[in-house]
Structure 1
Amino acid sequence: MTENWIHESLYPTWCQSFKIEKMLIEKKSAFQDIKLFETAYHGRVLLLDGVVQVTEKDEFPYHEMITHVPLLTHGAAKRVLIIGAGDGGVLRHVLMHRTVEKAVMVEIDADVIDLSKQFMPQIGGASWDDPRADVIVGDGIAYVAKAEDASFDVIIVDSTDPIGVGEVLFTDAFYQECARILSPRGIIVNQCGVPFMQSEELEVTSRRRRQFFPHVSAYVVSMPTYVGGFMALGFASKDAHLTLPATSEIAARAQAAGLNGDSFYWSPDVQHAAFALPPYIGRCLPQR
């Protein structure tokens, strides 16, 4: 941190900086270093171990795409498991789908949940008190290992990068257990970094998922504060014959789910187009 500027430390040779209007909290939790501060343009910003996790200004592309895409591709998801996502944004967007009967969220760091509720309450909104939500402070690996077979239709992994506390969520063992607890048409989506800077993240995790899921793909979302171009969201399904629904079908499913058209990034056309990958990203996926 230089004077009233803070510099993100994700890459050793390239960074972005934020001018701090007010530092709201600096603390070390049991798992990671947490900073939450106010800015003039991006609103409040959450950093974990020096890396931007969420800003009030541009949280919407990530949260809309990591939730609406798998739920509407599945088309009949009733039980959703969320790993990580302590700011509450994924939980809020999952529960926008009135077709979802249960959303279990497992976040390892209680401080992330508490501070997000206190300083960024609009990101989680009313989802924390939704009767369909079961918020668990605990280890996602342990939860998945103990969950019953075929107990979820969709799993969304909103973790930090595969270093530190998030590393265990990118292993063979984790993906194998996820496949076990997903229903026969089950889908898993997880953040796979920015391929322009982190291509290995998508390459390695896609190969690992291919061992346990016959359908492996990825789609992209443009996130201004995740520097380096498109962010990749890894996508895998137990249904080997899964096809991307037509935009008209996606729109019909969204209407049935009760999405009221107030998205700022996601749309049926955007969902369909997001799977059309630039070659430099497509080459990161396992080739048949």
Structure 2
Amino acid sequence: MLNYTEALHDGYAQSFRVDRLVHYEKTAHQELAIFDNASFGRVLALDGVIQLTERDHHVYHEMIVHTPVFGHGEVRDVLIVGGGDGGALREALRHPDIRVTVVEIDAQVVETARRHLSMICGAAFDDPRVQIVIDDGTAFVARTDRSFDVILIDSTDPVGPAKALFSPEFYAACRRRLRPGGALVTQNGVPLFQGEQLRASMIALRRIFRYATCYLAAVPTYTGGPIALGFATDDPGRLGEPEALAARVAASRLEFRYYSAAVHLGAFALPPAVLRLLEP
């Protein structure tokens, strides 16, 4: 019986028993593996790092999508940079008035998700409100003249091609593509082990946007504690006023497994150690 070991952090690793290897290949951009595990169901890993599992992906995908969407209140167009597994896309499409553009650098991630991750993406890639663009995210954002209400950076960690998605230049390009009141959400790793990554992003975002902070989500297979999601906007009111936020969530009639109006607000209540990382 094989084990799949993730050793993202120095001196610490987590291991999954591979009950069935579903798919493995080296794409033009990365090593891609999909396997089944008794505890977590279907698992996707890229370059040796767990990206999602069937058991707990909903935490990350609900929080990266619904927090900015409900906080904004009037979202019509969403850009997802990365997200080729379709999980964030599927969550965004639960809002019937939203159109989504997904820019994924690796076509094989999308194709493999279609074939092997239907429990994650459903039929999201076939929705007429969706445009799939196979391209480098930085190049697309720099080139496009389209504007968006929310931009989600649903990326891997800042290694290889993904490193550019954490740069000040890319954040500035995203700001130019946001409509007034728009919000940018970034994946910023686990503060316990990736605190400097979070600090660097916050410094860059605060130089570009009027307001930037982060919020937390507890994803069990992201080792080291809650993951930080950066939130940047020129309109801090888009964080969500409690009564209006609760009303929007209730009016949507959507059911969630992790997200709620209360969890949304609580996610921005940061522990002192994380607040210190956010200090100028």
TM-score using structure 2 length: 0.97
Contiguous gaps of at least 5 residues in structure 2: none
Runs of 4+ in 1 over 6 A off after TM superposition: none
Match of 1:225 in 2: 221
Match of 1:109 in 2: 106
> Would you say how many aligned residue pairs link Structure 1 and Structure 2?
280
Does residue 272 of the first structure (1) align with residue 265 of the second (2)?
A: yes
Distance 1:231 1:225 in 2: 10
Distance 1:246 1:173 in 2: 31
Question: Deviation per CA, 1:233-276, whole angstroms, max 9, x where unpaired?
Answer: 0000022x4363333321222244x342x211000000000000
State which drifts further: 277-286 or 51-60: 277-286
Do the aligned residues in 2 keep the contact of 1:96 with 1:259 (CA within 8 Å)? Answer: no
State which drifts further: 61-70 or 39-48: 39-48
Does residue 247 of the first structure (1) align with residue 242 of the second (2)?
A: yes
Which one of 47, 60, 64 corresponds to residue 58 of structure 2?
Answer: 60
Which one of 184, 189, 197 corresponds to residue 188 of structure 1?
Answer: 184
Distance 1:199 1:180 in 2: 27
Q: Residues 181 and 243 (structure 1 numbering): CA distance in 2 closer, same or farther, change over 3 Å?
A: closer
Distance 2:93 2:238 in 1: 24
Q: Which amino acid aligns with 2:237?
A: L
Distance 2:127 2:32 in 1: 27
Do the aligned residues in 2 keep the contact of 1:218 with 1:234 (CA within 8 Å)? Answer: yes
Match of 2:128 in 1: 131
**Per the alignment, in what secondary structure is the counterpart of residue 10 of structure 1?**
strand
Do the aligned residues in 1 keep the contact of 2:72 with 2:240 (CA within 8 Å)? Answer: no
Do the aligned residues in 2 keep the contact of 1:248 with 1:268 (CA within 8 Å)? Answer: no
Distance 1:122 1:152 in 2: 28
Do the aligned residues in 1 keep the contact of 2:101 with 2:131 (CA within 8 Å)? Answer: yes
Q: How does 1:61-100 map to 2 (within 5 A)?
A: 61-100=59-98
Distance 2:2 2:223 in 1: 21
Distance 2:28 2:239 in 1: 41
Do the aligned residues in 1 keep the contact of 2:78 with 2:149 (CA within 8 Å)? Answer: yes
Does residue 281 of the first structure (1) align with residue 274 of the second (2)?
A: yes
TM-score using structure 1 length: 0.94
**Per the alignment, in what secondary structure is the counterpart of residue 24 of structure 1?**
strand
CA RMSD of aligned residues (A): 1.3
Distance 1:183 1:284 in 2: 29
Which one of 21, 28, 37 corresponds to residue 23 of structure 1?
Answer: 21
Do the aligned residues in 2 keep the contact of 1:194 with 1:229 (CA within 8 Å)? Answer: yes
Q: Which amino acid aligns with 2:148?
A: F
**Per the alignment, in what secondary structure is the counterpart of residue 110 of structure 2?**
helix
Do the aligned residues in 1 keep the contact of 2:4 with 2:16 (CA within 8 Å)? Answer: yes
Does residue 208 of the first structure (1) align with residue 201 of the second (2)?
A: no
Distance 1:286 1:190 in 2: 18
- Identical aligned pairs, as a percentage? 43
Q: Which amino acid aligns with 2:165?
A: L
Do the aligned residues in 1 keep the contact of 2:68 with 2:238 (CA within 8 Å)? Answer: no
Q: Which amino acid aligns with 2:112?
A: L
**Per the alignment, in what secondary structure is the counterpart of residue 61 of structure 2?**
helix
Q: Which amino acid aligns with 1:249?
A: A
State which drifts further: 82-91 or 118-127: 118-127
Match of 1:8 in 2: 6
**Per the alignment, in what secondary structure is the counterpart of residue 7 of structure 2?**
coil
Match of 1:166 in 2: 162
Q: Which amino acid aligns with 1:248?
A: E
Contiguous gaps of at least 5 residues in structure 1: none
**Per the alignment, in what secondary structure is the counterpart of residue 161 of structure 1?**
coil
Do the aligned residues in 1 keep the contact of 2:83 with 2:155 (CA within 8 Å)? Answer: yes
Distance 1:173 1:63 in 2: 26
Distance 1:83 1:97 in 2: 19
**Per the alignment, in what secondary structure is the counterpart of residue 15 of structure 1?**
strand
Q: Which amino acid aligns with 2:119?
A: Q
Do the aligned residues in 2 keep the contact of 1:32 with 1:165 (CA within 8 Å)? Answer: no
